[in-house]
Structure 1
Amino acid sequence: MPGKVLNGDTLNVVCDHYHLYEKDLELMAKLGAKNYRLSISWPRIFPKGRGSVNPLSIDFYNRLIDACLRHGVPPWVTMFHCDLPQGLEEDFGGWRDRRTADAFGPYADTLVKSLGDRVKNWITINEIFCFTQDGYGNGTKAPGAKESEQVVNQTYHTALLAHGEAVGAVRQYGGHGARVGITDNPIPIIPWAETSEDIAAARQAFIEINSRVLEPLYRGQYTEAYDKTVGDNAAQ
């Protein structure tokens, strides 16, 4: 979208890790890095978000994972780091629609089946808040939308469904020793003063801000705290 990106900059080349990963990993090993947390690009694997797999992308990530192990820097792989395939935004409305989570399932299956013999530490999604609230609520991140609170809650819900699909993929295809989790960025709340009233207010604010993600993650369902927070704007 014209005007949405500073200077019209693109990601066409940047650090060129695609070609320089061997040298990059050599540097990581020399620096004493114990692990390499990397993110796989969903549009590289499925250019349209679903359908046919791009075999060149699988080849690249296989080479990258092998290089990680060869240099003694084990990979910690993130499946989604804010790069939604544009086709899913155009066809379904992106994270507004649970069909995006349905498409995430085969994507996660493909990753674990292809790389799970060497990757044992999986991260499903990076920071749900950043591509739901920021992407569809205040418009500060892609796709730059400013939707209603109900729509934003729906994007949270779709993202959690996608997380569940990815957890299922690792549990089914990850093999012995595979671990899976999510990277969350809950918003911390600090009391204004150490009074019982301020502490109680901070705790309540923390619940209201973070219950869309933490409640279902830790409790496996939406609870009264979520219902109180979203009211009539709950996800469907």
Structure 2
Amino acid sequence: MLRVHNAATAIDALAVIEREIAYGTPEAYDALLELDGLCAIEMFPNSPSEMEWALSQVATYCSGYRGIDRVNGGAEHQELAALGVAARTERELSQALRQHGAMAASDEVLRILASSSNAYELREALNFAAARGLPILPQNLHAQSNPNFNKNVLQLAASLAYCRASGVCGPRSSSMVGACISFGVCDPHLGLPDALRMISSPIEFAAAQSFVDQAMSRANWR
């Protein structure tokens, strides 16, 4: 991961990102979109008191940040996204699925999980598998009574794999700010995996955790 998450302010983070873009680092575009999404969160009237720490943190961190319009000469959001690691991963998996079928695409997802250290690539691969219904969960993790089980587990696994690879999902992290605003899990002492555990089915969370442990156990960066 880029050292964006160590930056004290969004302005400092943007300076790191712009330097990495100049160096030709693809994941800089993914980091830019994450930063822009975080700083797009706005204060709103009568917000629940438990959200105050998150909203205040965003307001302080993002003070003076002007958005992505000045990066790459004002390129559109979609153009910038297309240059990142997540978009590249989605294109490669889509090609595998289109040309060789679901099993080949599933094998490629599993290869990424076992070999990649890039948090954006890991998250996108698992989200792709969830969205396309790829058969990558081991048979012992299936719960046939719930038709959404596989999708839910893979979406959880995507977040867990991202957190494990990035190391940036702890208390008061940008990931937890997002969980607070989106899901209402706002305890500032929790990390994102704890928040996901609270809002998920225990069976699905355990399956996601087990799958990530198994699939990433051979990862060459661990």
TM-score (norm 1): 0.27
TM-score w.r.t. the length of structure 2 is 0.28
Larger radius of gyration: 1
- The answer to which structure, 1 or 2, has the higher relative contact order (CA under 8 A, 6+ apart) is 2
Q: Which one has a larger percent strand, Structure 1 or Structure 2?
A: 1
